[in-house]
């Protein structure tokens, strides 16, 4: 048992050293704080945004993204109590911050950005929240409110384009159940392709031979779920729905 404890301690230390080395190479340093509230130097602009995700059982769920912009030192802060904020999400936050700065033209060298997603870490992947992180960051920097009837899913790229994600239909159902009216998805994902198995069998002599063919079927998410789905290719297009 003592040997196992030593090995576990060595493994944890190695992970921490790797994380420190990884973060030190990034243009934007993400600092961890025990509690978001303890990091607030003053009251700032707070933006809350409902976004969809898919849980471990493949069900669509809704969670709340919170972004706050306060007077500070240009730091990017996350709540360590939410294990969601690991490597992939940190990368999405860094890109979201860079894109938001470019679109708004706001210098964040004296602004701290604080991020929190109110959910269990297993529910949502960092990359799929990229577009939402960017929209919420822009709203926080500009002190603007977002249309609460609109939600979005999609990754974010450095040029502001929105990339594809999975679980579109499941997320759309969660958005509809939340009472929202418009669901923004990456370009080309408003129509999903599903595959239906078709089995045919024939008997040759005493042996029965069976084959299965998977037939593609296009499904319009707007029609199948019953919610307005709009495709957007970049952040600028998405902003028209949230702030237009």
Neighbours of 53 (CB within 10 A): 25
Identify whether the C-beta of residue 67 lies closer than 8 Å to the C-beta of residue 136: yes
Distances (CA, A) of 223 to 192, 193, 229: 11, 14, 9
Catalytic residue among 50, 92, 97, 128: 128
Identify whether the C-beta of residue 231 lies closer than 8 Å to the C-beta of residue 188: yes
Identify whether the C-beta of residue 155 lies closer than 8 Å to the C-beta of residue 92: yes
**Residue 120, exposed/middle/buried by CB under 10 A (0-12, 13-18, 19+)?**
middle
Identify whether the C-beta of residue 85 lies closer than 8 Å to the C-beta of residue 79: yes
Torsion, CA 172, CA 230, CA 104, CA 99, rounded to 10: 70
Catalytic residue among 50, 92, 97, 171: 171
Closest CA to 243 of 136, 157, 159: 136
Neighbours of 232 (CB within 10 A): 21
Decide if 128 is catalytic.
yes
- Check residue 159 and give left, alpha or beta (phi > 0: left; psi -120 to 50: alpha): alpha
Decide if 171 is catalytic.
yes
Closest CA to 101 of 229, 235, 203: 235
Active site residues: 128, 171
């Amino acid at each position: 048992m003592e040997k196992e404890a030593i090995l576990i301690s060595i493994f944890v230390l190695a992970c921490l050293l790797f994380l420190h080395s990884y973060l030190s190479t990034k243009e934007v340093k993400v600092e961890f704080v025990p509690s978001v509230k303890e990091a607030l130097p003053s009251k700032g602009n707070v933006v809350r945004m409902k976004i969809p995700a898919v849980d471990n059982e493949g069900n669509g769920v809704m969670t709340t993204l919170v972004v706050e912009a306060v007077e500070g030192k240009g730091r990017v802060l996350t709540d360590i109590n939410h294990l969601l904020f690991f490597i992939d999400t940190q990368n999405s936050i860094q890109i979201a911050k860079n894109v938001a700065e470019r679109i708004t033209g706001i210098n964040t060298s004296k602004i701290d950005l604080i991020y929190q997603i109110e959910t269990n870490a297993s529910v949502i992947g960092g990359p799929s929240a990229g577009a939402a992180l960017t929209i919420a960051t822009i709203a926080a920097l500009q002190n603007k409110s977002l249309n609460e009837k609109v939600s979005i899913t999609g990754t974010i790229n450095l040029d502001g384009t929105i990339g594809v994600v999975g679980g579109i239909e499941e997320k759309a159902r969660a958005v509809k159940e939340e009472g929202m009216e418009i669901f923004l998805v990456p370009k080309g994902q408003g129509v999903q392709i599903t595959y239906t198995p078709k089995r045919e069998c024939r008997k040759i002599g005493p042996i029965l031979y069976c084959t299965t063919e998977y037939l593609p079927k296009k499904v319009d998410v707007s029609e199948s779920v019953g919610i307005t789905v709009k495709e957007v290719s970049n952040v600028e297009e998405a902003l028209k729905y949230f702030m237009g």
